[in-house]
Chain A
Amino acid sequence: MQVSRNTFWAGCLSVLLLAGCGDSSEPKSQEPSKDVMTEVTAFYAANPDFFGFKTETDIPPNLIWEDGAEQPEIGSPKATKGGARYRRMQDFPRTLRTAGPDSNGSFRAYLLDDVGMTLAKPHPQTGEMYPGLAQAWAVDKPNKTVYMKLDPRATYSDGTPITADDYMFMFWFYRSPYISDPWYNSNYSTRFTNITRYSDHMISISLPQAKPDMTYFATSVRPIPRHHYKEMGEDFSDRYQWQFEPTPGPYIIKAEDIRKGRSIALTRLENWWAKDLKFYRHRFNMDRVQFNVIRDTAKAFEAFKRGDIDQFGLGLAEYWYEKLSDNAPDVEAGYIKKAVFYNQRPRPPFGLWINTARPLLDNLELRQGIAHATNWQLVIDQFFRGDSSRLHDSNDGFGEFSHPTLKGRAFEIEQALQYFAAAGFSQRGPDGILINATGERLSFTLSTGYASMKDVLTILKQEAAKAGLEFRIEVLDGTASWKKTQEKKHDISFVAFGRFLEMYPRFWEHYHSFNAYDTAFLEDGSINPQRKLKTQTNNLESFAIPEMDQLIEQYRASEDKQEMIELAHRMIELHHDYASFVPGFYQGFFRLGYWRWLHYPEEFSYKHASGPGELFVEWIDTAAKQQTLDAKKAGEKFETSITIYDQWAE
């Protein structure tokens, strides 16, 4: 996994396809012989503190090397290689670049996160690190440095060996203005302090703090093939738009498999360098994984029922209980299997993000009233049919770092009315909505970019009206809604952030005043009357309290896990007291239907897995495919299979 980028929860993002993007695989007018390496070397020389060059004798002798060998294998020994898997995607990727404009789309997972390789990754079962491109690593905590022995066998898909220089180049690459990607630019300049090359297969990476999860951070980087980007320049975005970057991973994308707007396919490398290694030998089993663009979900479901795609996520209750119910003919006859897998991982914080910079919403009592007027329990019971659970704060699922006892505010009309009355709204108007002394109605816009969740909002609207609160629902296009919240123009936004498998939650980006206002407070600590909202940050609540700032800074600087846990709990309490977020719900599992020719390991998946496809442990029984389709035609039946894997249920 990359140093994870806190992506907008893009489940239902629908983006208009950019038709007619120029195919720029051919070098343009620039001289073909250009070599960016002179520029790169000059950059190394100009930043000697960041880019170090030493020899192996400089490595401290007493390091304790770890190699993750004791971690359990991933995947099933029963898995066989071969076959083609067909999947659905909602939108065609807008680019094959992994940095720069539009590169943060959902297809990124198949270029980097799920398929690409990093130095080491957290094990989906234990959370401990298992090796990837590094054979072993050692932590030098006092010097905030992690040393890494690179696997000398590792090569890119084009056969070029991967060496320490590719990691050096990676830092230049991500810091380069050519990629037009401010997130990478800032992340790779501030979250790392040094990379040093000791030999072709030995590097070290230093971090600003020796956080408890520093190994995870330092090993989360990936090499970038410097030979591929030799001609890099101002035209980076155009030049590499549809070029597949050589990968250390098992799958490549061939130029002939890119059918723009229609489909794209991954092809397995026969001679992948890691194919016999412990953590990889039972994974990445299919020879080909083809993604077909099917925009409409109802249509995709029909395609699944025809067997055109092998698997379909049944997260929504109506799909699990009705459209593919347990006694649907295809399920009863055993053609399609159903499975639920309970997992444990940080939960996307679905809930109402209240913009406290808006008039009225800056009132604490009013916000508390809103929280009590929001009937999530009804949504969970009736819309999700009791499958989802109530989220209690915005950082659930981080183990010890999550608050052990805090509960989200319950739907209580009387209590809500009391809070609204305290905020000046005590009279009901002719339509039952509260008004204050000046005749102002208690009415706020509730916007979202999730068209599939609009029913949730209409339920909330109906219920809130009982407490005299009006929600004006605004369902925008995914991108438009995200833009609106990023510009802090929302009253209340129903949104969630993607959460990665990390040890501890991030508070700075959501709750630090730095991300809320330009200068939030004056020097004496009082509120700056002239402060201006800061846009394009993830502080969607315009949350700014000096006490929180101080806790966050302490938390960021802390290198002691226990202290960080206590700080996290205090910050979560503070955030709860401020009532600027109404926690909604989370789904503690993933569930799906899949054709019987698709096989999963006995345990199905792993404790911390986010979905069935993430680890590529499934395999295809090619003979069974024809057999199943023939049997379906002939009316033959197999054993029904509906399995609930609740070994990790919380």
Chain B
Amino acid sequence: MFHFNPQTVKKLQRFRQIKRGYYSFLALAGLLVLLIFGELLVNSRALIVSFEGELYFPTYAAFHPGTDFGLDYSYETNYRELKHQFASQGGDNWVLMPLVPYNPYENHAPGGIFTPLPPSTEMQHYLGTDTTSRDILARLFYGTRIALLFSLVFMASVYLIGISIGCAMGYFGGVFDLVFQRIIEIWSNIPFLYMVIIVFSVIPGSVSLPLRIAILLIVMVLFSWTGMTYYMRTETYKEKSRDYIAAARIIGASNSRIIFRHIMPNILSTLVTFMPFTIVGAISSITALDFLGFGLPVPTSSLGELLKQGTANLRTAPWIVISAFSTLVALLTLVTFIGEAIRESFDPKIFSIYQ
């Protein structure tokens, strides 16, 4: 059974006491859960279709051609139309649609032309549509999901590389440290934005969408891990000279045991306080890249792309920029609140005991 050490428990309790951060954390966690099961909330596929006495659950299943429900086409059923059709036929068939019955890619132009529509509850476009008549709420929803997941994976990868190399530099020191410091200095001088632009201009289009997103992630990680190493390195240097490390070594503990079982837990607080800000950074940079047109591939939904549309249509469709901007601000504020609370609760000035 896994037990937190009493100090960590104390820190967590302290975190719970900082209300602003704690509620932000709950809100964000709740949002994340919602986002993960987003297909049940925002989707053009129906939740349940009852047709001829049989129940269908299309959300996560393979696609249903129109012919499955007695329609005359072989492509994916338009469930919104199906719902209207069943309602007008008045039989036993029915369709239960999600809260927002649109997916982020479809162009739904009720007026026959692609133009931004203002928010309308009647059309169920709760935040309106963008310049090509796609539902903004759907695009925001999935855009936020991608941004959040992207930044979580980004953070995990950056920390994995940053911690391993940083700790190794601090622990082994000497030539290893010296060489890596120089490598990092050189590496961190390569302009990140240009690299992204260059890499993206040469990626062949045959690469699938998830892989393209993964490549973007890898490029960003490759140029972001260096900052972390410095903190890890100094922390490790500090811890390494402590008596308990010497003691562990005398007992005969291996290097990896010393690093992972003894040093790591003691520098965890530094690490944890950085996490939220890394996430803020990742969300901002992916949004900025999208805004510039070098981020996620078209037609992936993204906050940056919506912001860009919004600024280009400030006068004619202010609802685009309002919703994108508010989402971004809310998201970043939540994460920042969490970050501040963590920093406060992990602050060694209150809880650490020095010998």
Contact = CB atoms under 8 A, between A and B. Distances in A.
A419 to B, nearest CB: 14
Interface in B173-220: 197, 201-202, 204-206, 208-209
A432 B75 contact: yes
A417 interface: yes
A462 B133 CA distance: 13
A361 to B, nearest CB: 13
A468 interface: yes
Contacts of A475: 293, 297-298
Contact of B298 (A318, A457, A491): A457
Nearest to A317: B113
Contacts of B206: 445, 472, 491
A465 B114 contact: no
Contacts of A431: 62-63
A489 B132 CA distance: 29
A417 B197 CA distance: 39
Contact of B201 (A298, A413, A451, A477): A477
B114 to A, nearest CB: 5
Contacts of B106: 462
A465 B77 CA distance: 12
A428 B197 CA distance: 36
A150 interface: no
CB-CB nearest 3 A-B residue pairs: A474-B205, A445-B205, A430-B62
B112 A381 contact: yes
Given A432-B76, A472-B206, 9 more contacts: A318-B115, A318-B316, A321-B115, A382-B107, A382-B109, A431-B63, A466-B75, A476-B201, A477-B201
A201 interface: no
A268 interface: no
B316 A458 contact: no
20 contacts: A298-B313, A317-B113, A321-B115, A383-B114, A428-B63, A432-B76, A455-B131, A458-B298, A458-B299, A459-B107, A462-B105, A462-B106, A466-B75, A468-B74, A468-B75, A472-B205, A472-B206, A472-B208, A475-B293, A489-B204
Interface of B: 62-63, 65, 73-76, 105-107, 109, 112-115, 131-133, 197, 201-202, 204-206, 208-209, 293, 297-299, 311-316
Contacts of B133: 382
Contacts of A432: 63, 65, 75-76
A254 interface: no
A451 B297 CA distance: 12
A639 B316 CA distance: 24
B114 A455 contact: yes
A645 B41 CA distance: 51
Nearest to A457: B298
A15 to B, nearest CB: 12
Contacts of A298: 311-314
Contacts of A283: none
A155 to B, nearest CB: 47
Query: Which of B63, B114, B204, B312 is packed against the most chain A CB atoms within 10 Å?
Result: B114
Contacts of B107: 382, 458-459, 462
A461 interface: yes
Nearest to B299: A458
Interface in A426-452: 428, 430-432, 445-447, 451
A5 interface: no
A466 B73 contact: yes
Contacts of A382: 107, 109, 112-114, 133
A455 B75 CA distance: 22
A385 interface: yes
Interface in A341-359: none
Contacts of B132: 383, 455, 458-459
Given A323-B316, A383-B132, A480 B201 contact: yes
Contacts of B197: 477
A455 B74 CA distance: 25
A642 interface: no
Nearest to B132: A455
B75 A413 contact: yes
B72 to A, nearest CB: 10
B282 to A, nearest CB: 23
B130 to A, nearest CB: 9
Contacts of B65: 428, 432
A458 B315 contact: no
A428 B74 contact: yes
A467 interface: yes
A322 interface: yes
B268 to A, nearest CB: 43
Contact of B113 (A381, A454, A455, A476): A381
Nearest to A381: B112
A178 to B, nearest CB: 31
Contact of A465 (B75, B109, B113, B298): B75
B105 A458 contact: yes
B201 to A, nearest CB: 4
A98 B317 CA distance: 43
A475 B115 CA distance: 22
Contacts of B298: 454, 457-458, 473-475
Nearest to B66: A466
A298 B314 CA distance: 9
A635 B23 CA distance: 53
A472 B105 contact: no
B194 to A, nearest CB: 10
A12 B316 CA distance: 23
Nearest to B130: A455
Contacts of A480: 201-202
Contacts of B315: 323
B34 to A, nearest CB: 24
A297 B114 CA distance: 19
A473 B207 CA distance: 10
Contacts of B202: 480
B305 to A, nearest CB: 10
Contacts of B299: 454, 458, 461, 473
A321 B111 CA distance: 14
Contacts of A447: 205
Interface string A369-399: 0000000000001110100000000000000
B215 to A, nearest CB: 13
Given A472-B205, A476-B201, A451 B293 contact: yes
Nearest to B134: A458
Contacts of A454: 298-299
A490 B206 CA distance: 9
Interface string A305-329: 0000000000001100111000000
Contacts of A457: 298
Given A298-B311, A455-B114, A413 B73 contact: yes
Contacts of B115: 318, 321-322
Contacts of A430: 62-63
A465 B297 CA distance: 18
A462 to B, nearest CB: 6
Contacts of B201: 476-477, 480
Interface in A467-526: 467-468, 472-477, 480, 489-491
A313 B293 CA distance: 23
A475 B293 CA distance: 9
Nearest to B308: A298
Contacts of A428: 63, 65, 74
B225 to A, nearest CB: 27
A381 B314 CA distance: 25
Contacts of B63: 428, 430-432
A322 B205 CA distance: 34
Given A382-B109, A431-B62, A491-B206, A318 B74 contact: no
A322 B114 contact: no
A466 B78 CA distance: 11
Nearest to A472: B205
Contact of A474 (B75, B109, B297): B297
A428 B298 CA distance: 24
Nearest to B194: A16
